[in-house]
Amino acid sequence: MTDKIDRQEALAHAGIDTLAVRAGQVRSAEGEHSEALYLTSSYVFESAAEAAARFGGDQPGNVYSRYTNPTVRTLEERIAAMEGCERAVATASGMSAILSTCMALLKAGDHIVCSRSVFGTTSVLFTKYMARFGVDTRFVDPTDYDQWRGAFTEKTRLVFVETPSNPLCDVVDLAQLAEITHSRGALLVVDNCFCTPALQKPVLFGADLVIHSATKYIDGQGRCLGGLVAGAAEHIDEVLAFIRSAGPTMSAFNAWVFLKGLETLRLRMDAHSASALTLAHWLQAQPAVEKVFYAGLPDHPGHELARAQQRAFGGVLSFRVKGGREAAWQVIDSTRIVSLTANLGDAKTTIVHPATTTHGRLSDEQKAAAGISDNLIRVAVGLEDVQDIQADLERGLSSL
């Protein structure tokens, strides 16, 4: 025990790379070096009295893996440390992290203000399902702060944002949004999936809760689904209480995979970012490309803000080709290496046509407002040699 306390104290001032490798680990009596995988649904007690004390909450310890598991707890403590938050809780997927946050912190009659440029399923969850339970959502242009200010009602309790946004890489000023949110007594929730704590720590700018789809960069190799919510104990305890009652729990196996992913997170994020920047500059020079959207480019409107808020610009970019849907499809269908799939945050580069896939459920007006044109292509740059990705895109681009 002394050993554990000493180690946790030493880690209190450690850098993010050290935390990514070591935070939260408690070794079992076997002295294993790599984190142990506890595949168990329940836990045994020494006596009936101990069982009663554990169930009653009078004695700390595990009862059932729907709400506590040592492998999952290691991941939760590690993410909390990396995000600079008091606590974190893991969920079965990124969507269940968002759902659990809403269910724990909102009630009928409450109101959400949300960026218009969020993950498509997040908008569906808010508009179709939260609305059914009496929680309405107002969507705004994420970089128009007057729109944010004007969208609040007496009942606004949550403000929800992603930055950089998907797929156009709009960068939102988190400090300004936190100030607006707090002046109206609401909580700022940031979906930090695109940056991860390796590139951006939203709580440093005033965010109250940080959400992750661990499925993306935290896994990093496209294997497992998972989600996380990090923040102050008072909020995270509420989210955990909902998970205990409703059951969108992260599997211990998935938590173990994510722990392995975190060990290389910053190295991967730096490599994704470096390749995306190279690719963005190369795309800008291609005659068949109309416009490139990537905050790492100096002429992107969010460039300076991204430099101040993020350690690097991330792995996702998008671009418009000259022509319409046919031209975009031709570029996508001419690739032989990159994967045509909507997932991102993988070692493998992925390519997608947002207007007919990830954003296909939006109306034409909504697409126009969000800038999702028919000639737009999104690329989530992986870890392959960047010249091979360029050659793969050039095949289609040079045929236009």
Ligand X SMILES: *Cc1c(COP(=O)(O)O)cnc(C)c1O
Residues that bind ligand X (CB under 6 A): 93-95, 119, 122, 162, 166, 191, 193, 213, 215-216, 225, 227
Q: Which is nearer to ligand X, 122 or 318 (CB)?
A: 122
Contact 237, 87 (CB under 8 A): yes
CB neighbours of residue 144 within 10 Å: 12
Taking the least distance from each CB to ligand X, the nearer of 106 and 288 is 106
Minimum CB separation of residue 343 from ligand X in Å reads: 8
Segments in 340-383 forming alpha helices (H): 364-370
> Which helix (DSSP H) or strand (DSSP E) does residue 52 occupy?
helix 48-56
Q: Which two tokens stand for residue 323?
A: 């022509």
Question: How many angstroms separate the Cα of 55 from the Cα of each of 11, 65, 139, 242?
Answer: 32, 13, 43, 17
Q: What's the min distance (Å) between Cβ of 206 and ligand X?
A: 20
Residues facing residue 156 across a β-bridge:
111
Between residues 115 and 335, which has the closer beta carbon with respect to ligand X? Answer: 115
- Residue 323, classified by CB atoms within 10 Å of its CB into exposed (0-12), middle (13-18) or buried (19+), is middle
**Residues near 267 by beta carbon (within 8 Å), at least 6 away in sequence:** none
Four-CA torsion 224, 216, 259, 164, nearest 10 degrees: -160
Give min distance, CB of 167 to ligand X, in A: 10
Nearer to ligand X among residue 143 and residue 165 (C-beta): 165
Distance in Å, CB of 25 to ligand X, minimum: 24
Cβ atoms of residues 128 and 120 within 8 Å: no
Nearer to ligand X, 73 or 212 (CB): 212
| Distance separating alpha carbons of residues 25 and 34, to the nearest angstrom | 9
CB of 225 to ligand X, least distance (A): 5
Q: Which is nearer to ligand X, 35 or 162 (CB)?
A: 162
Which backbone phi and psi does 21 adopt, to 5 degrees?
Answer: -95, -30
Write down the least CB distance from residue 316 to ligand X, Å.
Answer: 9
Which of these, 119, 114, 56, 62, lies nearest to 93 by C-alpha position? 119
Residue nearest to ligand X (CB): 94
Which tokens go with 321? 């080709």
Residue closer to ligand X by CB (options 11, 381) is 381
Query: Least CB distance from residue 74 to ligand X, whole Å?
Result: 20
